[in-house]
Copies of this chain bind each other. A is one copy, B any other.
């Protein structure tokens, strides 16, 4: 397949517990030319997380300085922790014709969609509220209070899904992966992302 002139900025969001991390892993493993945008955060690393791979873990002072220096495409406060996406890192990937996958919360997604109308936004929706609760409880990593907060937040977030370009319902991971992959491949064939190729072909006519 022909490479586009420039990568696609992909925004993926979902209520906590929907299964976004599993989907991101499948996509990064299997879709060529797809890169993950590593975010900055002030929260503590979870046991399996690596600095520079899952997140850049920074302290509050560093985060504030970056914020003041306008380094973030978006930043948000989620469950008491700061999260931010570096604009410079993203630009580099896009210029090098790699698609960039941004895993952000709904608040962050909305900010990026306003700043970057060319970005492609996907809302991953759980099959139902009951199923989301079941998944959050099944994880066994959060206490009842945290689960309650996440569900409350999910209640607000789902109403934003019609603002997104695509809505994928996460019934089954493999099907969800297929739909998300289709969105990525399809978006590479947009005229705006293939101007150089198209002009080169038309010039032979």
Contact = CB atoms under 8 A, between A and B. Distances in A.
B191 A164 contact: yes
Most buried by B among A167, A171, A179: A167
Contacts of A202: 158-159, 161
B191 A168 contact: no
A155 B204 CA distance: 9
Given A179-B1, A185-B179, A185-B182, A125 B190 contact: no
A128 B204 CA distance: 6
Interface string A179-205: 101111111111100100110011011
Number of copies: 2
Contacts of A184: 182
A56 interface: no
Given A125-B198, A158-B205, A201-B158, A186 B166 contact: yes
A204 B166 contact: no
A154 interface: yes
A162 interface: yes
